[in-house]
Amino acid sequence: MASDLDSEDRRFCKAFGRRLAELRDQAGLTQAQLGEQIGRSENTVVSIETGRSGTSTYVAARMARALGVTLPDLFDVADQPAQNSEKRRLIRQLVKTMRHDDPQTLRLIARLAEVTHDELEDGSSDRV
């Protein structure tokens, strides 16, 4: 698989591997333990963490569950190119802030964002 990757793919695999290793360490798991929990070998985890290989979506979902994170958290790779890094930073900050809020608060925030977005698109409100 690694031979089929272009340079951008390789950079992403390495960044994803670093993120996986970081989250695995935070979860207090060894590579062997993570491999066991996701139904893969320790060598597979090593290959992914070192960027020598990528992984499938369903294995990534297993990894996220084993690490106690969401798929977006798992794929939150610092080296990933962003179209608008300021926008990306603000979204990440908002997600982290809301992660532990109750459903009613989240619905209120979502509604506020929706109304604000609509007003900005209609031009009926000054830009924030």
Say how far apart CA 35 and CA 99 lie, in whole Å: 27
**CATH code for the structural domain at 2-74:** 1.10.260.40
Instruction: Kindly list the domain boundaries of the chain, sorted by start residue.
Output: 2-74, 85-122
Number of H helices, E strands in the chain: 7, 0
- Burial grade of 34 (CB within 10 A; 0-12, 13-18, 19 or more): buried
pLDDT tens-place values along the chain, 128 residues long: 445 667 888 888 998 999 999 999 999 999 999 999 999 999 999 999 999 999 999 999 999 999 998 888 888 876 555 555 666 667 667 766 666 667 887 788 778 878 887 777 776 544 44
The distance of Cα 105 from the centroid of its chain, to the nearest Å, equals 23
Closest CA to 12 of 45, 53, 44: 53
